[in-house]
């Protein structure tokens, strides 16, 4: 596998006049990071989504006024440089957003609001511009933890590998809600719901690139649940639960955040905030089950997000509370992480995304 060159985008918690998105160039062969520029004008753009098809970066920004709304914002990615040029924005009738994504066909932009308990669906034009809100769904209910599960709190949103179903882990309900995506009408149609352990607090989720399995990381219980997936029926079924922490660690001050599968499908990574580590599991190539490999310190505090490069050779860990992004090299045979000794200083980094330079050729 050849070493690659990427544009790396880092979002952060930021005031409107402060840098909200930082842009760097990363050369894998040289293991070299170089600053390009930063973008201001966004308030708390804590998650971002890249669209290779549209050559666009999508973010959100909280707008202040008589009522708080969240604006979905689109930036065109400048060919060759990776710089961002504002393309447009649309307001959602929502409180501040928490997570943003697109379907695989990149026909819709999807957002969730943790505080508002809602999912928002907006159409994307052939040029990647954001259309007006076409559907919004509000979750109702609660679970067993009074301070965190007093109401519904959808935390992230994805489409399944078939691109027919939308899955939403809801931390407040201890459920994964499944919807059928009606493309013709631009609607989310209720399809199924998956009950997880009470008090677990599902946060983020990922599907295996080859096997019919999905993995959800639970913020409140510091666990990961493996789910088998019937893509034709759009049905998920829990089959394994594992802890994300070492046995000797009591976990009282820990909460989990991000989960990703390596591009080769052999390893799964999750972040612990409190223990401040990345947990590594191997994935059984037949059953999809997890076996613990290692825990690696993120060399910082509160790793809210991390990302593997598309090649799978490197992992960037965003330590929000220590204002740093640490760079780790991945052993492709064992899945283990080793610090490169490199880091960059970014105010409250919250999300890491990579855009291959070849996409801009």
341, pLDDT greater than 90: yes
Query: For position 68, what pLDDT does the model report?
Result: 60
pLDDT confidence bin for 360, thresholds 50/70/90: very low
Structural tokens at position 300: 């910082």
pLDDT confidence bin for 2, thresholds 50/70/90: low
pLDDT confidence bin for 18, thresholds 50/70/90: confident
Euclidean distance between CA atoms 59 and 44, whole angstroms: 10
359, pLDDT greater than 50: no
| Chain mean pLDDT for the chain | 95
288, pLDDT greater than 50: yes
Q: From the CB of residue 291, how many other CB atoms can be counted at a distance below 10 Å? A: 10
Euclidean distance between CA atoms 247 and 256, whole angstroms: 16
Structural tokens at position 357: 């330079």
Structural tokens at position 228: 């088998």
CA angle (95, 154, 160) in 5-degree steps: 125
Structural tokens at position 232: 């034709």
DSSP 214-269: EEEEETTTTEEEEEEEETTTTEEEEEEEEESS-TT---TT-EEEEEEE-TTSSEEE
169, pLDDT greater than 50: yes
196, pLDDT greater than 80: yes
Local structure of 359: helix, strand or coil:
helix
Euclidean distance between CA atoms 25 and 37, whole angstroms: 10
State the residue for tokens 């990574």.
269
pLDDT digits (tens, 9 = 90+) for 227-282: 999 999 999 999 999 999 999 998 789 999 999 999 999 999 999 999 999 999 99
User: Average pLDDT, stretch 8-35?
Assistant: 93
DSSP letter (8 states) at residue 301: S
Query: For position 293, what pLDDT does the model report?
Result: 98
Q: By percentage, how much of the chain surpasses pLDDT 70?
A: 96
Q: By percentage, how much of the chain surpasses pLDDT 90?
A: 89
> In angstroms, what CA-CA distances link 237 with 241, 303, 329?
12, 29, 34
User: Average pLDDT, stretch 194-198?
Assistant: 98
Query: For position 250, what pLDDT does the model report?
Result: 85
pLDDT digits (tens, 9 = 90+) for 34-75: 999 999 989 899 999 999 999 999 999 986 555 567 899 999
Q: Are 270 and 259 in contact (CB under 8 A)?
A: yes
pLDDT digits (tens, 9 = 90+) for 92-124: 877 889 999 999 999 999 999 999 999 999 999
- In angstroms, how far is the first alpha carbon of the chain from the final one? 19
Query: For position 65, what pLDDT does the model report?
Result: 54
């Amino acid at each position: 596998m050849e070493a690659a060159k990427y544009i790396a985008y880092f979002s952060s918690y930021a005031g409107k006049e402060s840098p909200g998105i930082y842009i760097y160039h990363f050369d894998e062969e040289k293991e070299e990071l170089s600053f390009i520029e930063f973008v201001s004008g966004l308030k708390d753009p804590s998650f971002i989504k890249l669209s290779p098809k549209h050559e666009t970066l999508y973010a959100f920004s909280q707008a202040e006024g008589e009522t708080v709304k969240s604006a979905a914002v689109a930036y065109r990615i400048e060919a060759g440089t990776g710089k961002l040029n504002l393309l447009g924005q649309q307001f959602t009738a929502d409180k501040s957003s928490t997570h943003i994504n697109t379907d695989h066909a990149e026909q819709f932009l999807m957002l969730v609001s943790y505080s508002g308990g809602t999912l928002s669906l907006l159409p994307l034009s052939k040029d990647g511009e954001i259309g007006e809100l076409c559907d919004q769904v509000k979750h109702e209910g609660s679970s067993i933890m009074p301070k965190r599960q007093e109401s519904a709190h959808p935390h992230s949103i994805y489409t399944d590998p078939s691109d027919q179903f939308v899955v939403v882990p809801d931390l407040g309900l201890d459920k994964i809600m499944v919807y059928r995506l009606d493309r013709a009408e631009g609607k989310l149609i209720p399809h199924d719901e998956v009950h997880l352990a009470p008090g677990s607090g599902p946060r983020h989720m990922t599907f295996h690139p080859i096997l019919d399995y999905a993995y959800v990381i639970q913020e409140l219980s510091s666990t990961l649940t493996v789910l088998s997936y019937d893509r034709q029926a759009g049905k998920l079924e829990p089959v394994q639960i594992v802890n994300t922490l070492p046995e000797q660690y009591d976990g009282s001050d820990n909460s989990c955040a991000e989960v990703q599968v390596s591009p080769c499908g052999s390893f799964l990574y999750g972040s612990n905030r409190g223990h401040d580590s990345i947990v590594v599991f191997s994935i059984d190539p037949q059953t999809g089950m997890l076996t613990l490999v290692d825990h690696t310190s993120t060399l910082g505090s509160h790793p809210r997000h991390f990302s593997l490069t598309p090649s799978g050779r490197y992992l960037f860990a965003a330590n929000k509370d220590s204002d740093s992004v640490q760079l780790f090299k991945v052993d492709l045979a064992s899945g283990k992480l080793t610090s490169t000794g490199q880091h960059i200083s970014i105010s409250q980094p919250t999300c890491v995304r990579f855009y291959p330079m070849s996409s801009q050729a």
